[in-house]
Amino acid sequence: MHELPPSVGIELTRTSLQEYWLGRLSQHVLDSYAGVPLAKFPEDLRTYEHLIWLARPDVVIEIGTYGGGGALWLRDRLRTLATYGHISRPHVISVDLDLSQASALLARADPRYAEEITLVEADILDPALPARVEDLMPARTRCLVIEDSAHVYDTTWAALAGFAAFVPEGGFFVVEDGCVDVEEMRPAEDWPRGVLPAVRDWLRTPEGEDFTVRRDLELYGISCHPEGFLQRRPKAGG
């Protein structure tokens, strides 16, 4: 059965924006796509649609699978791109420490999901992981990378250091949930911290200097990913 998440309303004369944000946070962890859990704001998903059409990736690397709804949604967006002739074959590679729940839910939604979604059970802190993922992709692949793992400094840094090289000129690396480091956006003290410090520190490295923060891509006024939309600059003279 497809169940809708509870609705969240706002009365500007009675409800503060922060209360609205907290209500949306509670709502989004109960949302789904094709019956598979999908914990992403619709505003951020709409931005992803724009990025996919701008960058035309053949492969999306998703670090952090959760219930599998994100991988399925991204696969379906790439299928649309293929329908219009912009790519030949959609492929999503999704990495997580434990994929037992996601694999079962994906199989229930689409028994043939493995033809276009590859699940990799691994730790983002494993230095061998980028090479393992690269072996799964054909040569000359254009990638979109999404970091959505533990939302702490070490995992964010590992994702950037290990996977930024997969992003082509003009392509995008999205670091999700920088909201954990914005005090007004934190619902509780037990939330993790460290995403934005890791992003800011990494951007000062030689590899990070190839990327720019696209705050303008926080298009719809509310986003879980402040400072998280990163784009690789074209090379000088390119």
pTM score, whole prediction? 0.95
Would you list the domain boundaries of the chain?
A: 40-232
Say if residues 214 and 229 touch (Cβ distance below 8 Å): yes
Class at the top of the CATH hierarchy for domain 40-232: alpha beta
Average pLDDT, the chain: 95
pLDDT of residue 3: 83
What kind and span of H or E run contains 61? strand 59-63
Q: Which of 110, 136, 109, 111 is nearest to 121 (CA)?
A: 136
Report whether pLDDT(238) > 60: no
Q: Could you tell me the end-to-end alpha-carbon distance of the chain, in angstroms, rounded to an integer? A: 51
- Separation between Cα atoms, residue 137 and residue 91, nearest integer Å: 9
Asked whether the predicted pLDDT for residue 79 surpasses 70, the reply is yes
Higher pLDDT among residues 128 and 2, named by residue: 128
Asked if pLDDT for residue 132 goes beyond 80, the answer is yes
- Average the pLDDT over 5-12 and give the result: 86
Q: Is 92 helix (H, G, I), strand (E, B) or coil?
A: strand
- 3-state SS assignment for residue 169: coil
Residue 177 reports pLDDT greater than 90? yes
Closest CA to 69 of 50, 89, 96: 96
Question: What integer is the mean pLDDT of 103-114?
Answer: 98
* pLDDT category of residue 149 using cuts at 50, 70 and 90: very high
Q: Is the pLDDT of residue 122 over 70?
A: yes
Instruction: Return the pLDDT at 174.
Output: 98
pLDDT band at 15 (very low <50, low <70, confident <90, very high): confident
CA distances from 79 to 38, 41, 59, 62 (A): 18, 21, 11, 16
Question: Has residue 237 got a pLDDT over 70?
Answer: no
Given this model, what pLDDT does residue 1 score?
62
Torsion sign across C-alpha atoms 132, 136, 137, 138:
positive
Per-residue pLDDT tens over the stretch 32-66? 999 999 999 999 999 999 999 999 999 999 999 99
Closest among 233, 227, 45, 57 to 144, alpha carbons compared = 57
Q: How confident is the model at residue 153 (pLDDT cuts 50, 70, 90)?
A: very high
